[in-house]
């Protein structure tokens, strides 16, 4: 416990924690819009395309100067986005193909530049490798101001244009027909995603940055059905995963931050996809099981009910063998017991037969009638009782 407190009070770790949480919150917030606009992979292309920019910034500045590196990353990222847009508009290629082409070409150029710089050597050239997979410990206190500024700007923009971003994300054609400057709004969202990527580069790295955009949003979507909650939740998940990943990486020698963050945030997605109420897989499996049980119970009840009707005897005792034949197989004892407990059927004897028999209770008849949707004739031959519909 003391070790943890020591750790958190250390200046470097504080910087890393705040930076990672900020970055996670920014990319979580903007990633929610990217995911809803089905542009998840745009972030992947943009972050890979940032690598040549990082190298160019390094070459121009002649060293690992953060300002020029980030400016370069933003420039090549924007260029990649522009080329993708042109490919989609001017050719018959679809978005996925354009993304794939641009991503791999830009990344290839980046790797070539990276190896060129490394063969030429130099003290700072090793630090460039951290941009591939990220290194939380490389974050400086001064970087926090850049991250905070970009985060604040993104937050203000999202709040100011909330309903416009919402409309464009849901139905861009309608927004355009209503006269909204859709291209400008979409470009705004894309530029903000690019900025989030640029600040996230040294933390998570170009290769895995996209996970911090997509995964928090994908996890958040499972828990809510309103956009506002989803965006906030996505930011919170991003911040938590980013901070946890950075903390682990900063305190363990030689552990790149990107992969750790990705593993943590993937865990959040996994949990959300499984257990989230309503949309989670477990939840749905449970609902499916309940539905199956209901249908199965219904078959037992309606079988007993139709036997009683056929014999014009509400208390007709159905023998085990008859149930088995009618249903194809004898219902499991647990199901019979449950139906007895719910007071829908009761075991009876029918001498001289020694086998088990069951009859429907009044509630059982009502339930069976409700299931089959027909009026309960066995219970109300004179029409004195209400229909058993619920």
Partner 1 sequence: MRDDTLHEPGQALHVEDLTVTYGTKPALWDIDLDIPPGVMCAIVGPNGSGKSTLLKAALGLVRPVAGHVRFLGRPVGKMRGRIGYVPQRHSVDWDFPTTARDVVAMGLYRQIGWFRRPGADARARAMAALGEVGMQDYADRQISQLSGGQQQRVFIARALVQDAQILILDEPMAGVDAATEAIIIALLKRLRDEGRTVIVVHHDLTTVQSYFDWLVMLNVRIIAQGPVRKVYTPENLRAAYGRQLAMIAVPAEGNGL
Classified as helix, coil or strand, 193 is helix
Q: Is the Cβ of residue 9 or residue 92 nearer to partner 1 in the bound state? A: 92
The whole-angstrom separation of Cα 380 and Cα 306 is: 15
Neighbours of 62 (CB within 10 A): 10
DSSP, collapsed to helix, strand or coil, labels residue 353 as strand
- Measured from the CB atom, the residue of 164 and 387 that comes closer to partner 1 is 164
Q: Which residues form the interface with partner 1 (CB under 8 A)?
A: 36, 38, 92, 160-164, 166-167, 169-171, 173-174, 176-180, 221, 224-227, 229-230
Residue closer to partner 1 by CB (options 4, 184) is 184
- Closest separation in Å from C-beta 229 to partner 1: 8
Q: Which three-class secondary structure state does DSSP give residue 10?
A: coil
Cβ proximity to partner 1, 279 vs 350, nearer residue: 279
Least separation, in Å, of the C-beta of 43 and partner 1? 18
Minimum distance, C-beta of residue 227 to partner 1, in the bound complex (Å): 5
Greatest CA separation for the chain: 102
Question: Using CB atoms within 10 A of its CB, is residue 375 exposed (0-12), middle (13-18) or buried (19+)?
Answer: middle
Given the complex with partner 1, which of 37 and 299 has the nearer CB atom? 37
Query: What are the residues whose beta carbons fall under 8 Å from the beta carbon of 215, sequence distance 6 or more?
Result: 31, 237, 241, 262, 265, 266, 268, 269
Residue 357, strand partner residues: 319, 348
Nearest to 265 by CA among 24, 53, 1, 101: 24
CB 226 within 8 A of CB 246: no
Q: Which two tokens stand for residue 38?
A: 């089905």
354 DSSP 8-state letter: E
Closest approach, Cβ 41 to partner 1, in A, equals 16
CB of 223 to partner 1, least distance (A): 10
**Minimal distance in Å, beta carbon 137 to partner 1?**
37
Are the CB atoms for 114 and 59 separated by under 8 Å? Answer: no
To the nearest whole angstrom, how small is the minimum distance from the Cβ of residue 284 to partner 1? 14
Nearer to partner 1, 147 or 230 (CB): 230
In the complex with partner 1, the residue whose CB is nearer, 161 or 283, is: 161
């Amino acid at each position: 416990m003391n070790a943890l407190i020591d750790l958190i009070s250390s200046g470097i770790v504080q910087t890393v924690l705040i930076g990672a949480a900020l970055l996670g919150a920014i990319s979580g917030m903007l990633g929610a819009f990217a995911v809803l606009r089905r542009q998840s992979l745009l972030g992947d292309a943009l972050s890979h395309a940032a690598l040549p920019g990082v190298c160019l910034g390094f070459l121009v500045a002649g060293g690992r100067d953060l300002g020029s590196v980030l400016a370069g990353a933003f420039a090549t990222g924007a260029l990649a986005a522009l080329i993708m847009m042109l490919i989609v508009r001017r050719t018959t290629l679809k978005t996925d193909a354009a993304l794939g082409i641009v991503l791999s070409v830009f990344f290839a150029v980046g790797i070539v530049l990276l190896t060129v710089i490394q063969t030429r050597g130099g003290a700072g050239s090793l630090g460039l490798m951290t941009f591939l997979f990220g290194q939380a410990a490389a974050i400086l206190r001064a970087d926090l101001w850049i991250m905070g500024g970009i985060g604040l700007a993104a937050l203000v923009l999202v709040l100011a244009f909330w309903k416009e971003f919402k409309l464009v994300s849901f139905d861009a054609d309608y927004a355009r027909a209503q006269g909204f400057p859709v291209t400008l709004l979409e470009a705004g969202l894309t530029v903000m995603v690019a900025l989030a990527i640029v600040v996230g580069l040294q933390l998570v790295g170009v290769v895995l940055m996209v996970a911090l955009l997509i995964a928090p949003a994908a996890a958040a979507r499972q828990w809510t059905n309103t956009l506002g909650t989803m965006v906030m939740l996505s930011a919170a998940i991003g911040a938590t995963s980013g901070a946890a990943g950075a903390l682990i990486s900063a305190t363990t020698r030689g552990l790149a931050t990107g992969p750790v963050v990705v593993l943590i945030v993937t865990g959040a997605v996994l949990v959300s996809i499984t257990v989230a109420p309503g949309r989670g897989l477990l939840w749905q499996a449970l609902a499916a099981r309940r539905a199956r049980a209901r249908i199965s119970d219904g078959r037992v009840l309606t079988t007993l009910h139709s036997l009683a009707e056929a014999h014009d005897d509400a208390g007709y005792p159905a023998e085990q063998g008859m149930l088995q034949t009618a249903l194809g197989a004898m219902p499991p004892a647990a199901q019979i017991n449950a139906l007895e407990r719910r007071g829908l059927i009761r075991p009876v004897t029918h001498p001289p037969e020694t086998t088990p028999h069951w009859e429907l209770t009044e509630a059982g008849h009502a339930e069976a009638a409700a299931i089959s949707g027909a009026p309960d004739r066995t219970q109300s031959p004179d029409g004195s009782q209400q229909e058993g519909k619920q």
